[in-house]
Structure formats: structure tokens, C-alpha cells
Amino acid sequence: MTVSRRDFVIAGVGSACALATTGVKMAEAQTTQGGPPHKEPQAARQSMLPDRMPELSEGNMTPAQKQAAAEFSGGKALSVPGPFVALLRSPEVMLRTKALGEYLYSTKSVPSKLKEFAILITARQWTQQYTWDIHYPIALNAGLDQQVAQALAEGSRPEGMTPEEQIVYEFCTELHRNQSVSDPAYARVAGRYGEEGVIDLLSICGFYTFMSMILNTARTALPKGAATPLPSFPR
């Protein structure tokens, strides 16, 4: 079964909606493209922690949850993937989150490669294994150099970034580390992508920060068969 980029992203620029079939697709992509670094013991231990908010069976859903799950899937099933499994505990939050994810996927204010780069930067900031596992191959397919992604996974400033990638890296990194953005970093993004691009890039960082909070707290399991992709930050 072929899984499209849109399937991944509404799942995830939406990060995050991985269906069972995505695990195979990710494994194929990482095998052909080299894959991210191997997991370290601490990351491996974290991946073994029990899922706090596993998938709900239809019999365990409230009427509001059933309605939201049906709306989420277009009436085809009463199941939701990835971080939306945990978010289904608050049906209205889940549906509003999905709507924002769909917008961020569709917006053209920032090129797809750079949106994916911003997602990886955020996933690395939070050591969010699920998001990285989904978006790493998407980013490579969008044109991000594997060595840039690998350096990011290792917690290093990537070498060999394009000028556009440097603009996004500095903007997102400042935002995550300093909780603000300097005038030069702001001016570079605004000058190239406009104020809409600034807001959309901020929203991507914020959206995946929110998703990381959900996934890390719920301890959402990686797709079946996927290895923990991110090592712990060097200390």
C-alpha cells in the first residue's frame, strides 16, 4: 500500500497521524537514505515506558468521542492515529488541532522543505521520537540534505545548510532556546517570506511543540517496528 505525503502530514503536520502502514514506509525510506543515528540506552529505556493513553475501543468511547472520531476520519471508522489518540480524550481539542495541522500543511508561505526542517528542529528540541520518525523521511524527500538532518539529530549545528535553511534554523533555534527571536533573525524571515511567513513558521514551531507535549506526556508508542531514532542530547 502506498502512503502519500499528505497521509503522513495530516497525520502529522499533522505529524503525526501514522497508520500501521507508515511503519513499513518509514523503514524503507530510512534504509535507502541512511537513517538517523542509532538510539542510546536512555532513549531506548524511554521508548519502553508504557503508553499512558492507548487507543480507545469503540466500546470505551463517550458519545462525544465517537462523534469526533467519525468526523476526524470522514465517517469511515471510529479510530484516529498518532497523537490524536491521546487528544481524543478531549474531542473538541482534537478536532481544532486537526484543523490547524491541515492549514499548516497546505500553506505556501514557506516552502515544504523548510516547513519540514522546522518540524525536525522542534522534534529535536523535545527529543520527540514519534514526530522525528514520521517527518525525517518526509524532510529528505522534500529536499533536505541527509547530513543536515543527521547533524540536527546529534544536537549539532548543521554544516552545509543553504541560505534559506540557515534563516529557518536560526529563527527556530532562537525561538526554542531563548523564547524570543532577535531582530536580525526576524528580519531575515520577514524579508524573504513576509509577515505571513513569520506567523506560519512560528505556528509550525508552536504546533509541534504542542504535539511534543502531548506525545511525550502520553508516551505515545512509535509505529510498530520503528526504532527509536533520536539519541539523548550530549551532556
pTM over the 0.85 mark: no
For residues 84 and 17, the answer to whether their CB atoms sit within 8 Å is yes
Average the pLDDT over each of 6-15, 193-202, 207-216, 225-234 and give the range with the smallest value.
Answer: 6-15
What is the C-alpha separation between 33 and 29, in angstroms, rounded? 6
CATH class of 112-217: mainly alpha
Per-residue pLDDT band at 36 (split at 50, 70, 90): low
- pLDDT score of 119 more than 90: yes
Per-residue pLDDT band at 6 (split at 50, 70, 90): very low
CA 123 to chain centroid, in Å, comes to 6
Give the model confidence (pLDDT) of 92-118 as tens digits: 999 999 999 999 999 999 999 999 999
Backbone angles phi, psi at 78, to 5 degrees: -110, 50
Beta partners for residue 12, in sequence order = 15
What is the C-alpha separation between 199 and 109, in angstroms, rounded? 9
Give the model confidence (pLDDT) of 22-35 as tens digits: 333 333 334 334 45
What is the C-alpha separation between 232 and 40, in angstroms, rounded? 7
Percent of the chain with pLDDT over 70: 79
Domain boundaries, the chain: 5-106, 112-217
For residues 108 and 44, the answer to whether their CB atoms sit within 8 Å is no
